[in-house]
Structure 1
Amino acid sequence: MATGRLHFLLVFLTQQLLLTHGAKILTICLVGGSHYLLMDEISRVLHTNGHDVRMFLQVGEGMMPGYKLKASPYPVITWPMDENYLKEFNGFIKEHQREFFMGRSGLHSYFEFLKQISHQCKHTLNQKAILKSLKDDKYDIAIIDAFNPCTFLISEKLGLRYIAFFPGTFANAIEVGLPTPLSYVPIYQSQLSDRMDFFQRVKNTFMYFASRMVDLKVQAIFEEVITEHFAVESRPAISDLYLKPELWFYNTDFTFDFARPLLPHIQCIGGLMAKPAKPVSQELEDFISQSGESGFIVVSLGSMVASCPQKELLKEMNGAFAKVPQKVIWRYHRSQWPTDVELPPNVKLMDWISQNDLLGHPKARLLVTHGGMNSLMEAIYHGVPVVGIPLFGDQFDNLVRIKAKHIGTSIPPDQITADHFANIIRQITEDVSYKSEAMKLSAIRKSRPFPPDQQLVRWVEHIIRSGGGRHLHPYAFQQPWYQQYLLDVILFITICLILVIYLIVKILTFLAKKLCSRQKQKQT
């Protein structure tokens, strides 16, 4: 007993000393765009709070068209992808972008993308020298971009405890063991709100079973990677790795999302990128000042989308902006603008925009967006209504939440015409109820007890100080499925009821026979 107490004391003191001098933390980012921006922000926040942070970044995926990488205050460990493969992958992305702008987004595209990710994962796990160096560095914990299953495999390969950060809402709730009552919690990709009628609940139930099939397909895509890079006796299952993180962070909160049950190891830190606005450049300020009371509209369809591959759609959007009274600041790669399409005088193209600062400007009236989480959380933070053009992934479900909260609406890209789109913009900007609801959500968001960056730091330090997050995990994760769903109990009760009914029938039958035999005796 004394030895055990001494061991606990030594571990506790070591952890306190470690946090005094800063923990050694590895962040793993293998997907670019907004995923990189979020992982970079997480790394910077932890670095600023005194921790020794390093990022393992896959070069070629961290770049975004028009974006200039900021100087990093923390070390970044990179490795280059094969140039030929990168060209092939970029071609794959552009081809699928064309499909998305035509309103064609489906499971096939998602599975094809994951096959590309699994192919990249093989190459990453082949970087044995880098992985050995990372393993020898003895990190205290890893924080991974949980969108990419490969980050789980890398953490497992390095033998690291890890915290999983999911860059969106609860798309993987079932996989991580979250209670999901189908009567009011919409399944990912169902495009339902939490207020479902009978037939919507039927749809949600079928979507649940369909989502389980999709999960199995995703796991199957990575089976080849696991077989190739892990010994037989230590091969992990993706489904087990999703239950293994010490903690789960989600890039959402309930100003945006529908209220639902959570578990202690699930924490919402949505809005890391949403901050008080800084002044915009003088060039932009001069342009904005010309708008008068009409204000301006911010247009951005995501960090990875710098242009529109569908020229007809581009013309319709451009025509719609020409019909509205607001100035329009459009994040669009100017060199890719078609020379035969005339830009209206109220529209300004920019290769990259500081979206958060623009949304925080007092004259910002509307955000036209693809419906990515970072954009929507920034719009909510600054109280700016939204018009969404969903292209792929979680954007459809995200914009369902925007409509349910009455801070905006959405329109599929294949339904956009200049007149219809302009009417939608006028509807959202002129109906004060949208702005009013957006400001209410902004007030709720800003009055949270702890900002998301503080939550991030405190929870990471708590996990390190506690020696892990096992105390936050329900015992259900260790139970067999039949115990978790009480099937053994239901079977036992069913058998007992059948026996009781059987005995009652037997007794009644016996009594009936006795009664009949007595009546016969009396008659004779």
Structure 2
Amino acid sequence: MAACRKSIIFVFFIQQFLLLHGAKILTMCFMGGSHYLLVDEISRILHRNGHEVRMFFQMGEGLLPGYKPKSSPYPVTTWTLDEVYLKQFNEFITKHKQQYFTGRSSSKTYLALMAHLSDQCKFSLNQSNIMKSLRDEKFDIAFIDAFNPCTFLISEKLGLPYIAFFPGIFANAPHVGLPTPLSYVPLYQSQLSDRMDFFQRIKNIFMYIGSHVVQKKIEAIFEDVINEHFPVGSRPVISDLYLKAELWFYNVDFTIEFPRPLLPHVHYIGGLMAKPAEPVSQELEDFIYQSGESGFIVVSMGSMLDSCPVEELLQEMNKGFAQIPQKVIWRYQRSLWPNDLELAPNVKLMEWISQNDLIGHPKARLLVTHGGMNSLMEAIYHGVPVLGIPLFGDQFDNLARIEAKQMGTFIPVIKIKAEHLANTIRHIIENPSYKSSAMKLSVIRKSQPFSPDQKLVRWVEHIIQSGGGSHLRPYAFQQPWYQQFLLDIILFITICLIMFSYIAVKIITFVLGKLYSTGKQKQS
């Protein structure tokens, strides 16, 4: 009996060892830019920790101009968008880049992007050979970029449990079941902090209602995909797929995000791209050396935007940089610089930069950024203040958080003027409070008990080892909405109170009537 028990225990531990050190994981990314950089980093981390990783990647978007891909240690399954459609999509991106730099980003732009992602989803699901080969590999779990609803549908089509990764702040929190108290949790695109006055709380309520309207529109956009590729009777609902995720990871950290309630299956792993700085090239080191004690600033408007299509804005930025004593390393495609515009003498243009290494350089004084989460987390890690120029998406909210944390400030793109830009840069660099706040956040970030990659690996392995995350998800996800909000209880109590009040009134009326009639009889 004892020998049998020992053999069972031995087999159990062997299974756990093999499971933890040899899980088959499918990572999914159908967008370029920072989305690809993040999912690639996640894939590398999982691969380094002994897991068999394959990425399913949609190529052809061209959203990483100037980037030279590193050799991949894990296999990648790719497919490329049709050339005719790709031309249309790139025209859409080019058109909206122009709008971003003139301050005209809106929810219509976001919904138009979702319509393109829906079309691309149909193309992806039509890749029958690829879908079959992925199904035949029998992955244990999928790790998906949750910004694109298509990744949920692909996972569902493959019959895989999945872990959802959202590449920013808790923008979709109300739609994934997260408690969202509107009195101190600012909604996506509200640009509010957690300290709201009366009118700001009113705004927050309307933003909450608006977020549900937008979500319904997104679900309607993907209805055609679902109807075309899933049989009647087993057609998924995107809102249900959000709740079905075994885990939710967010590319954020409470060094920048405001404290808020979370559920056991929701974790933040922001800062995966932030690391100790490596030495920069000798060419850059020579350029930085010329800055003396003034140091240098890094300018990058994100992985997607390698140029500025609005020449008036470009002129103002160039003039503004010319007025500061610091050297400027600006990620900008040199071939797209206007021939008639003379580059400021203290500015160096580069097709691509190792941003983390530059921000981590001892002479880095400031990061001028669009406000992408990866850039901000790198600035926090290295304790470098920030000047933001938000363009679209979550960048406005990200920079509102940077301002609330007193680590920097931001200027709306339509208000960029040379003098104002130069004065703001000087103000941030010369005011020690910004650097002090940045260093304080850096200490908070670095002193956390577990690094982002450790949390990522441990939680993924926990889900694989325990056979899913059902033990972490609240029962509320299975309840009807009226039970979640206790509307049935409220209705029952209300009916009881009405009935009690009705009976009480009837009794009192009856008693008063009897007393009245008795009194009248005595008088007569």
> What TM-score results when the alignment is normalised by the length of structure 1?
0.97
State the match for 2:105 in structure 1. Answer: 105
Q: In structure 2, how many angstroms separate the alpha carbons of the residues matched to 1:353 and 1:89?
A: 26
Match of 1:342 in 2: 342
Q: CA deviation at 1:518?
A: 2.4
CA distance 1:10–1:348, shift in 2 (3 Å)? same
1:243-258 equivalence runs, <5 A: 243-258=243-258
Tell me the equivalent position of 1:417: 417
Instruction: Provide Cα deviations, 1:364-408, integer angstroms capped at 9, x if missing partner.
Output: 111000010100111111111111111111111111101111111
| SS of equivalent residue, structure 1 residue 234 | coil
- Structure 2 residue identity aligned to 1:304: M
Report the residue type matching 2:218 in the other structure.
V
Alignment of 1:43-82 (within 5 A): 43-61=43-61, 64-82=64-82
Task: Please give the per-residue CA displacement for 1:3-59, whole angstroms capped at 9, x wherever unaligned.
Answer: xx9xx9899667514325411111001000000000000000000011111101111
* 3-state SS in 2 of match to 1:143: strand
Q: Paired residues, what number?
A: 518
What is the alpha-carbon distance in structure 2 between the residues aligned to residue 90 and residue 430 of structure 1?
A: 41
Q: What is the Cα deviation at residue 519 of structure 1?
A: 1.7
The aligned residue for residue 441 of structure 1 is 441
Query: 1:127-276 to 2 correspondence within 5 Å?
Result: 127-276=127-276
Mapped to 2, the partners of 1:109 and 1:218 lie a distance apart of 12
Which whole-Å CA distance do the structure 2 matches of 1:79 and 1:447 have between them? 41
Amino acid at match of 1:478: Q
Aligned residues of 2:65 and 2:304 also touching (Cα < 8 A): yes
- Of 314-323 and 52-61, deviating more is 52-61
Letter in 2 for 1:90: N
Aligned to 2:450: 450
Provide the C-alpha distance between the structure 2 equivalents of 1:420 and 1:471, rounded to a whole number of angstroms. 54
CA distance in 1, matches of 2:407, 2:185: 21
Deviation at 1:522? 2.3
In the alignment, which residue of structure 1 is the partner of 2:285? 285
In the superposition, relative to structure 1, how do residues 12 and 398 fare at CA in structure 2: closer, same or farther (>3 Å)? farther
* Post-superposition CA distance 1:456-509 (Å, at most 9, x none): 000000000000000000000000000000000000111111122112212221
How much has 1:207 moved relative to structure 2?
Answer: 1.1
Q: Is the contact made by 1:23 and 1:51 (CA closer than 8 Å) also made in structure 2? A: yes
Q: Say which SS state the counterpart of residue 287 (structure 2) adopts.
A: helix
Matches within 5 A, 1:9-24: 15-24=15-24
Asked if the contact 2:21/2:49 (under 8 Å) is kept, the reply is no
1:326 aligns with 2:326: yes
Alpha-carbon offset, residue 430 of structure 1: 1.1
Any gaps of 5 or more consecutive residues in structure 2? Answer: none
**Could you tell me which amino acid in structure 2 is paired with residue 161 of structure 1?**
P
Per-residue CA deviations over 1:327-348 (Å, capped at 9, x if unaligned) read 1000001111111111111100
Aligned partners of 1:370 and 1:391 also within 8 Å? yes
**2:517 aligned partner:** 517
Q: Could you tell me which residue of structure 2 aligns to residue 406 of structure 1?
A: 406
Whole-Å Cα distance in 2 between the matches of residues 20 and 366 of structure 1? 42
How far has the Cα of 1:361 moved from its partner? 0.7
| Alignment partner, residue 114 of structure 1 | 114
Are 1:15 and 1:464, in contact at CA under 8 Å, matched by a contact in 2? no
Alignment of 1:312-391 (within 5 A): 312-391=312-391
- The 1:169/1:10 distance shift into structure 2, 3 A limit, reads farther
Relative to the length of structure 2, the TM-score reads 0.97
The 1:398/1:20 distance shift into structure 2, 3 A limit, reads: closer
Does residue 99 of structure 2 align to residue 90 of structure 1? no
Taking the aligned partners of 1:95 and 1:373, their CA distance within structure 2 comes to 24
Question: Does 2:479 match 1:501?
Answer: no
Q: Which moved more, 1:497-506 or 1:359-368?
A: 497-506
Whole-angstrom distance in 2 between the partners of 1:190 and 1:20: 42
- Using the alignment, how far apart are the partners of 2:362 and 2:124 within structure 1? 45
Distance, in Å, in 2 between the alignment partners of 1:20 and 1:426 is 51
**1:262/1:10 CA distance change after superposition, 3 Å:** farther
Distance 1:504 1:231 in 2: 57
8 Å Cα contact 2:274/2:381 also seen in 1: yes
The answer to whether the Cα contact below 8 Å between 1:408 and 1:428 also exists between their aligned partners in 2 is yes
Q: Secondary structure at the match of 2:95?
A: helix
Which AA in structure 1 matches 2:505? V
Q: Distance between the aligned counterparts of 2:246 and 2:402, measured in 1?
A: 31
Q: Give yes or no for contact 1:388–1:409 (8 Å, CA) kept in 2.
A: yes
Deviation, structure 1 residue 177: 0.3
Which residue identity does 2:512 align to in structure 1? A
Instruction: Check conservation: 2:61, 2:86, Cα contact below 8 A.
Output: no
- 8 Å contact kept, 1:144–1:151: yes
Q: Distance in 2 between matches of 1:510 and 1:81?
A: 81
SS of alignment partner, residue 53 of structure 1: strand
CA distance in structure 2 between the partners assigned to 1:21 and 1:519 by the alignment: 92
Structure-2 residue corresponding to 1:392: 392
Unaligned runs of 5+ in 1: none
Contact 1:30-1:61 at 8 Å conserved across structures: no
What's the offset of the Cα at 1:413?
1.1
Partner Cα distance (2:164, 2:332) in 1: 33
Whichever residue aligns with residue 364 of structure 2, its letter is A
Output the CA distance in 1 between the equivalents of 2:59 and 2:219: 25
Query: Are the equivalent residues in 2 in contact too, given 1:31–1:62 (CA < 8 A)?
Result: no
**In 2, Cα distance between equivalents of 1:376 and 1:433:** 18
- 1:478 and 2:509 aligned: no
CA distance, structure 1, for counterparts of residue 311 and residue 434 of structure 2: 31
Q: Which residue of 1 aligns with 2:300?
A: 300
Identity over aligned pairs, percent: 73
Runs of 4+ deviating beyond 3 Å: 8-15
Distance in structure 2 (CA, Å) of the matches to 1:364 and 1:316: 23
- What amino acid does structure 2 have at the position aligned with 1:34? S
